[in-house]
Amino acid sequence: MGPTEVTTYVLISFIGYIIVGIRLMNLCNAAGVSNGWFAFVPLLNITRWARLAGKNPWLVLLFFVFYIPGLILSWLILSFIWLNKISENTGTKSPWLWVILIAVIIGLGSATVLHGTTHLIISLVLEVAVIAAQWMIFDPTKATRSSAATV
């Protein structure tokens, strides 16, 4: 990928990060989770996922325990488990988790096979799919105060 393609991907990813951060912050506020602004801080936003999933935010340390042996795999497993719990708590349990899982599998597989513009297009489509899935899962209108952890 050339500089234009990389810039495009980074721009789309950054816009998606802001959009999902706003939605996550609104869900935290609706569910009564403190420090909703953590949604915009890398690594701290994961603690909001844990809180919304009804788990102790200190479990984020598990991510760092598995940092060396399998960074991507440990993060994917942990985030998928917590997104599943968040979707159950907010009542948005639907095909959106499958969208994320399939997008991640295709993204990891295509990274080794495809190159150039084809890889960029597929990556952008998958990025938009994951952003849309998180948008649907982090629905603040379906939040309840009991969906957050009490820790």
Q: Which residue has the tokens 């948008």?
A: 135
CB atoms within 10 A of CB 107: 17
Return averaged pLDDT per consecutive 10 residues of the chain, 151 residues in all: 77 90 91 90 85 83 62 71 83 78 78 73 85 86 61 43
The residues spanned by each domain of the chain are 3-144
DSSP labels for 86-134?
HHHHHT--STHHHHHHHHHHHHHHHHHH--HHHHHHHHHHHHHHHHHHH
The pLDDT of residue 22:
93
pTM over 0.75: yes
